[in-house]
Chains A and B, each alone.
Chain A
Amino acid sequence: MSRLLRGASLLGGGATDVLVDEGRIVALGTDARDARADVVDADGLVLLPGLVDLHTHLREPGREDAETVASGTRAAALGGFTAVHAMANTSPVADTAGVVEQVWRLGRDAGWVDVHPVGAVTVGLGGERLAELGAMASSAARVRVFSDDGKCVHDPVLMRRALEYVKAFDGVIAQHAQEPRLTENAQMHEGVVSAELGLAGWPAVAEEAIIARDVLLAEHVGSRLHVCHVSTAGSVEIIRWAKARGIAVTAEVTPHHLALSDELARGYDPVFKVNPPLRTAEDLEAVRAALADGTIDIVATDHAPHTREDKDCEWAAAAFGMTGLETALSVVQATMVDTGRLGWSDVARVLSSTPALIGRVADQGRPIAVGEPANLVLVDPTARTLVDPAAQATQATNSPFRGRELPGRVVATFLRGRPTVLDGRPCDETVEVHA
């Protein structure tokens, strides 16, 4: 069945009609005519390529009490995503072809978005020996992104080997930059607020020292490096320097590190406890500027659902992490678009085309053009949404934006032409039919 998106603002530009059929874009503008097509009124809505998240925790297998592939990907579709990369820190760890294929199949069966499993760099995230990266790369899941996220590959020799090894299949190491000795028992960013609150500090240098080492390693062995969740002004400076030298480094920032600062820890509410920690106002400004000037390539959610019992406790006992799939686009609009630092075509770049390139996902993040796969999202930038975790599709309630009004709303999401979200609501029936 063909579908006509009428009057959509293409990447925030002029209104145009888009005709979708058989999972592809078949016509644009005045050519887009089909009397039998289902019409979606897209007047006033911005049309973007479906969003691609390079950093999602779906928790399955192992922590289905916090999130499942089905619940997490449904949340992703509502957030405008058509592909997510599922991080490897599950139980069991995604460090074998068997586990990554399991996650990949769960994603395919759920049908909300394409799920691309991330493979662990080291066995069991133990940081001691390489996992079978080649087996994961050649599995049905075709893994290209490898990460011990949640833990840092801190052994420099192991990191060097990993960077070198994945060149054989054009993979990339996504590093969680956290020097472990400098962050033992660390609870929040080390600075004025941690000094006052008496919470053990997490110095910026613990992130920056690893990034500095890794860009030099990547240069030395001629490999691709991706830096997860950049959070400090110093990290930005190092990445800017590395890019100027021609080092193949890419970097991501999370929505929460664009929007929230360490001042929020003052209430000891663990919903604001996250790894890496929320940083200072100066760091916020630095990562926003870096995203605007391209030093930071992409926004990735680091969606980290947790059960209530893991957050309903004293700060030190709480788990690190925040949900983000359903608020990411709104936070980017609030911090970057509404402030004039990015246009909608830039949003398409940082939330779709570049993450797809980094993850080597061929059929996502494509231009909106005839013949391309119809992975699309329609956004109403004038809407305002009050964030209510209980009303979200994610199983978890640990949204740091709860109770806040954010701009923008995802109206519709299409995965290869099939609607996963329409009128802002999940298409449970269609998705099940196609599962």
Chain B
Amino acid sequence: MRHLLSAADLSRDEAVLILDTAAQMAATQSRQIKKLPTLRGRTVINLFFEDSTRTRISFETAAKRLSADVINFSAKGSSVSKGESLKDTALTLQAMGADAVVIRHQASGAPHTLATAGWTDCAVVNAGDGTHQHPTQALLDAYTARRHLVGAGGTQDVTGRDLAGLHVAIVGDVLHSRVARSNMQLLHTLGARVTLVAPPTLVPVGVQTWPCAVSYHLDEVLAQGPDAVMMLRVQRERMSSAGGGFFPSALEYTRGYGLDARRLAGLPDHAIVMHPGPMNRGLEISADAADSPRSVVVEQVANGVAVRMAVLYLLLSGTGPATSAGDEVADESGTPEKVGTGA
């Protein structure tokens, strides 16, 4: 694995390796001294063109726990806001000797361009690009689902296991969601069955080729007894005319697609409720659901650090033990270079 650009680039074995490595990382995080020497002397740059305090802090924590030097580069107030191009930013970071760039960008494909345009030889980690991908979110969601839903709810060792047989409903603004795209692909790769649930206006044209089912009716999907329900953030401005007019009102959205107390009560006993955050309480998820014992929202955040440690470790350390185990590391051929080729 040279870069992590898209959840679609991961094979089943690569994805499981990341989850297993994350489990080892998580085990170290209950120690009193949480810091590992693994990436001492390596430099990780958090290049954030879009505000995202949560994701940036998660990556920063992950890199620091591995003893990497971390530099935060925020587009706001930097040369980027003065018109510096992505190319020049990349060349600058390259000249400063970065080993990995964690990039968040509002333009779909920007991490791909950064990784393939020849501007830098850093490892590139996509921390969310436009409405395209957010692969570490999908990995931490898969990690969380595996902990709860595989191996008798955490009582057995799940090393090496995938998510075969699970049914996950992803509910909300699929059209604009990189979380939905990443999760749908990774869950499929790991053997889970996915149903996307959204009003028709928030389902992309072209969805028919995706390896998942699509439903416009949340209650019908919940009646199937999914193992996990993943609620997506819905931006309120999507209902205004200027925002695209995707749905008539917040109330109507909540009636049709919100996870409220009634819908929560109908879930199977073992089912979990997930949300990538930040939540719109009262819109896509009620306080009852967000704060219920089924909710793993806070745990998702904690698992994010472990998963990002695993990703940085696997990308940067080459081979060698992470925490005394897990010395199997995917080689470069695992991630195909997707350069534009002829038709």
Contact = CB atoms under 8 A, between A and B. Distances in A.
Interface of A: 187, 190-201, 203, 259-261, 263-269, 271-272, 309, 312-317, 403-404
Contacts, number: 101
B113 A203 contact: no
B109 A314 contact: yes
Contacts of B341: 264, 267
B97 interface: no
A200 to B, nearest CB: 8
B87 A312 contact: yes
A267 B85 contact: no
Nearest to A403: B342
Given A199-B108, A203-B205, A314-B107, A269 B178 contact: no
A198 B132 contact: yes
Contact of A263 (B85, B106, B208, B343): B343
11 contacts: A195-B204, A265-B340, A267-B341, A268-B109, A272-B340, A312-B85, A312-B87, A313-B113, A314-B109, A314-B110, A317-B85
Nearest to A201: B205
Nearest to B131: A198
A203 B144 CA distance: 38
Contacts of B205: 190-191, 194-195, 201, 203
Contact of A198 (B181, B207, B210, B343): B181
B61 interface: no
Contacts of A272: 340
Nearest to B209: A192
A182 B29 CA distance: 50
Interface of B: 8, 85-87, 105-110, 112-113, 116-117, 129-133, 178, 181, 204-210, 338-343
Given A195-B205, A316-B107, 13 more contacts: A187-B108, A191-B206, A192-B208, A195-B209, A196-B210, A197-B108, A198-B109, A198-B129, A267-B338, A269-B339, A312-B87, A312-B117, A313-B86
B112 A267 contact: yes
B107 to A, nearest CB: 4
A139 B243 CA distance: 45
Contacts of B206: 190-196, 201
Contacts of A263: 343
B78 to A, nearest CB: 17
Contacts of A265: 340
A203 B87 CA distance: 30
Contacts of B181: 196, 198
Contacts of B210: 195-196
B133 A268 contact: no
B343 A314 contact: no
Nearest to A316: B107
A263 B341 CA distance: 9
Nearest to A203: B205
Nearest to A317: B107
Given A191-B205, A404-B342, A315 B107 contact: yes
A3 to B, nearest CB: 39
Given A197-B132, A272-B340, A404-B342, A313 B87 contact: yes
A315 B108 contact: yes
Contact of B112 (A192, A200, A261, A268): A268
Nearest to A404: B342
